[in-house]
């Protein structure tokens, strides 16, 4: 699985959130984090958010080109 790198501005924001965390041993833990909540599990690379935030924004209609399916 490919890793996505973080931009400098995003990194500063994440750094403030993770100050209280102990130093992570694995460098891959800094990659593929949700932009909204910082969650590392169930990250969706296409949208840059986790499944929880994806579902929330999909319901609100804030994700472009995404609609709730109805048939």
Q: Give one DSSP letter per residue of 33-54, joined into a string.
A: --TTT---TTEETTTTEEHHHH
Domain residues for 46? Answer: 33-66
Is residue 55, in this structure, part of any structural domain at all? Answer: yes
Is 21 part of any domain?
no
Q: Does residue 60 fall inside a structural domain? A: yes
Alpha helices in the chain (DSSP H): 8-17, 51-60
**What pLDDT does residue 29 have?**
64
Is residue 22 in some structural domain? no
Helix (H) or strand (E) holding 65: none
pLDDT digits (tens, 9 = 90+) for 25-68: 566 666 788 888 888 889 988 888 999 999 998 888 888 888 77
For tokens 């490919």, name the residue. Answer: 2
How many domains, in total, are found in the chain? 1
Residue 20 has pLDDT above 50, yes or no: no
């Amino acid at each position: 699985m490919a890793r996505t790198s973080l931009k400098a501005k995003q990194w500063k924001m994440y750094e403030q959130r993770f100050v209280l965390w102990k130093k992570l041993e694995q460098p891959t833990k800094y990659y593929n984090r949700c932009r909204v909540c910082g969650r590392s599990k169930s990250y969706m690379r296409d949208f840059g958010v986790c499944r929880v935030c994806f579902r929330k924004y999909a319901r609100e209609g804030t994700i472009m080109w995404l609609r709730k399916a109805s048939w």
